Amino acid sequence: MTTILTRSLAATFARDVMHSPITSCDPSTPLAEVAAAMADQRIHCLLVDGIVHDASGDRLVWSVVSDLDLVRGAITGSGTTAGGIARSPVLCVDAEDDLLVIAVALAENGTSHAVVTDDERPVGIVSTLDVVAALRTAPVGD
């Protein structure tokens, strides 16, 4: 069912609402530093970028540490570094994707953050809060 809300999301694009530049860290970053970066910058996730060395060669890999991952890691002791608690695979969306497509992908993947890519390079982050903010500005009706 198409509503004013879904039409509003379809008219807004990742490039319009994404948070950029991305704050990232190395997989070996201690959780205290991850927490400090999130708190200081008032953000809810960090991109963890690292290099995997395997039979096919070296390649860049991404994962995400959210504030909830950090809280879980702190109370369970499941890791001491960003790489130890980071989640992957990462949900990636294109900078030209509309928020309706992104909202569906976030819901289907049970995640609150998507990495926005342009030519397969991370350029920003879109979160469920960005989707909510777009809904706030939708015209009244339907």
Contact status, residue 62 vs residue 48, Cβ threshold 8 Å: yes
More confident residue, 62 or 24: 24
Cis geometry, peptide bond prior to residue 122 (ω within 30 degrees of 0)? no
For the chain, what is the mean pLDDT? 87
Average pLDDT of the residues in 6-10: 79
- pLDDT value at residue 101: 95
- The answer to whether residue 111 scores a pLDDT higher than 80 is yes
- The answer to whether residue 142 scores a pLDDT higher than 60 is no
Distance, CA of 124 to CA of 102 (rounded, Å): 13
Tokens 């990462």 sit at which residue? 90
pLDDT digits (tens, 9 = 90+) for 49-93: 876 666 776 666 789 999 999 999 889 888 889 999 998 889 999
Average pLDDT of the residues in 95-122: 93
pLDDT bracket for residue 1 (50, 70, 90): very low
